[in-house]
Structures are given as C-alpha cells and as structure tokens.
C-alpha cells in the first residue's frame, strides 16, 4: 500500500488533488501541517510520496513548495493534478458576516477572496493560517483561541468540521485553478508520453548582465517552450537568486537532454526536479529541426567527421 503525505488537515484542496490522483487505488493518507513537513516525511522514508501545491493561476508559484524542492535532499516530481478552486466562508452557528471581526485562511486563498471580503465584511481583519482546512478545523475545535470568527476554505472542509456556510462561491476569480504535484524520491521517472513537463532549478555562477539570457537561450535555440519561470532567493545573500523553471518535454527527449547538458556546463548547479506527464494532456508541437530524429542525425554526422580524423 502506497503512503501519501499531503498538506492537511483533512478537507484541504491538496487532499482533493490526492484523491483525484489515486482514484480507487489502495493507499494510505497522511495529513501533515505544512509543505515542509510533507516533504521531510518523504525524504525520511516515512511515506512513499507527497502531494503539495506548487502553482496557482491567481498568485503564481507557491513559495513554500518551490523553496523546499530547491533545497535539501533531492526529490522529483512524478505527476501533477489541476484542481478548480471554489471557496466558501464558514462560521460556528450563530455567527454572521456582519458581526465578523476577523477572517482566517491560507495566504493564497486570501489573495483570491479579499475583494469579496472587502465588500461582505469590510470591518474584518485577515488572520493567516497554515491551510484553508486548518482555518476551518481550528475554528470548529478552538473558537476562543484562533483570533478569527469566520474561515475561508473548501466546501468539503466546512461540511467535514460542522461549520455553517455564510458565503457561497466567494472567489474573486471564477476560473481559479491550483496545480498540485506528486513528489517521490529520485529512484524512478515516468516514461515519456509526448505531453510531458520537466522542472529544473538553475543557479548562476555569478550575477552579471546577460546571465539570465544566457540560460534561457539554451532552451530557445532548441525549440523548448517554458511554461513557468520564477526567481527565488537562494538565502545566501541579498540579491542572490535561483530560477525555477517548467518546460515542455521529457529529459529523454534529445532537445531537452541537450539543453540540460549545456546548462550543466554554464550553471553553478542544475537541480533536476523531474519529468512527468502534464495534466492538461495536450501533445507538444515540435519543430522538425528540433525533433529527436534531427538531433540523432546531427550527432551521427559529427561522428562520421570525427572518425575521419581518428
């Protein structure tokens, strides 16, 4: 039985993503209080895989996940799940929005509902929580200690913890989606499907003019499309950044392998975070001059030239 850690408690969108990933497969769920705790449990061998949020269509990358994957013992992404996000506001029986003094939720959720909050409860302050579900759980179990009287969470969390819904479908953006990744220890990779993503973190040798352009050119000249590019502080010194990148293709694709080899040569470090099927499932369009066949033909041509001098 596969043991999965996920950002808990029960009722989070992360649990929803996990349930979508495993479907009816036999598994065990291990809810943990933070992204770091879920990935640490994976690194230590307590669980076999972890499901964590990595990107939101409203707020962009989830910094806790990006930073946790960029440091520590290596891990790899083996899959991704896209979850449409719908929020509710909930409270203990008898509490109304008009009487709310504070609203508790995760920071990424707050970014998606603060427009609603400004109109529905302008008097309420924001209180950050570890997750949307923990906001509901703590309000239900420790109402006098949390510092807020309304929680923003997934509908399943409000129901699970017995809270009354005082605001339905409260997101400011109607098409918000969060991307979750399934993470494993680096002992296997999914096979190429023709609709894959590869995730890497690049570290520059030095901060200089044109340095980022030099890195990105390794993708451009090989016809590789990037689907996400974010800078993250390395925490070594002020102004020291690495670059977290998602790109189309699999490490076994010739064009991707060639790009990674060049990046390994010019970067201080390249952290490979996996090649895996993209959730969208759209086949990647590859220019004939950057196809596997084109790279193989070019290598064979060079080998023939080198044999002349051998």
Quick: pLDDT tens for 23-34: 888 899 999 989
Q: State the pLDDT at residue 281.
A: 85
pLDDT tens-digit map of 116-166: 999 999 999 999 998 899 999 999 999 989 999 999 999 989 999 999 999
96 phi and psi angles, rounded to 5 deg: -115, 160
Q: Which helix (H) or strand (E) holds 272?
A: strand 269-277
Tell me the torsion sign for CA atoms 36, 39, 43, 46: positive
Please give the span between the terminal C-alpha atoms of the chain, in angstroms, as a whole number: 55
Q: Which helix (H) or strand (E) holds 109?
A: helix 107-120
Calpha distance 164→27 (Å, rounded): 31
Closest CA to 188 of 304, 33, 95, 75: 75
Calpha distance 170→95 (Å, rounded): 17
Calpha distance 172→174 (Å, rounded): 6
Q: Is 45 left (phi over 0), alpha (psi -120 to 50) or beta?
A: left
pTM of the predicted structure, to 2 decimals: 0.86
3-state secondary structure of 48: coil
Closest CA to 135 of 244, 44, 33: 33
Q: Residues in the chain with pLDDT < 50?
A: none
23 phi and psi angles, rounded to 5 deg: 50, -120
Could you tell me the two tokens for 170?
A: 């409260």
Calpha distance 304→310 (Å, rounded): 10
Contact 164, 92 (CB under 8 A): yes
Closest CA to 106 of 153, 139, 164, 53: 153
Q: How crowded is residue 234: how many other Cβ atoms within 10 Å of its Cβ?
A: 17
Q: State the pLDDT at residue 310.
A: 63
Closest CA to 242 of 66, 123, 103: 66
Q: State the pLDDT at residue 274.
A: 97
Closest CA to 14 of 22, 141, 167: 22
């Amino acid at each position: 039985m596969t043991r999965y850690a996920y950002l808990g408690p029960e009722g989070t969108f992360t649990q929803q993503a996990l349930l979508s990933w495993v479907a009816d497969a036999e598994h065990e769920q291990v809810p943990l209080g933070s992204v770091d705790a879920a990935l640490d449990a994976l690194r230590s061998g307590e669980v076999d895989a972890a499901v964590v949020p990595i990107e939101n269509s409203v707020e962009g990358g989830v910094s806790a996940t990006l930073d946790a994957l960029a440091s520590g013992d290596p891990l790899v992404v083996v899959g991704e799940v896209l979850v449409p996000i719908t929020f509710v506001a909930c409270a203990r029986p008898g509490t109304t929005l008009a009487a709310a003094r504070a609203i508790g939720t995760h920071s990424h959720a707050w970014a998606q509902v603060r427009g609603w909050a400004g109109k529905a409860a302008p008097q309420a302050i924001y209180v950050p929580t570890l997750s949307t579900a923990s906001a509901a759980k703590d309000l239900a179990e420790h109402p006098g200690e949390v510092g807020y009287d309304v929680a923003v969470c997934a509908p399943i969390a409000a129901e699970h913890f017995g809270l009354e819904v005082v605001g339905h479908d409260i997101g400011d953006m109607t098409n918000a989606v969060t991307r979750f990744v399934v993470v494993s220890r680096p002992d296997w990779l999914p096979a190429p499907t023709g609709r894959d993503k590869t995730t890497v973190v690049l570290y520059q040798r030095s901060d200089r003019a044109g340095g980022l352009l030099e890195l990105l050119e390794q993708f451009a000249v090989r016809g590789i499309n990037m689907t996400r590019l974010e800078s993250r502080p390395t925490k070594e010194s002020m102004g020291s950044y690495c670059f977290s990148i998602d790109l189309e293709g699999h490490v076994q694709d010739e064009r991707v392998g060639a790009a990674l080899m060049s990046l390994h040569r010019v970067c201080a470090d390249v952290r490979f975070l996996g090649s895996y099927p993209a959730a969208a499932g759209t086949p990647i369009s590859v220019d004939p001059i950057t196809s596997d066949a084109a790279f193989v033909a070019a290598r064979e041509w060079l080998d023939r030239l080198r044999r002349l001098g051998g």
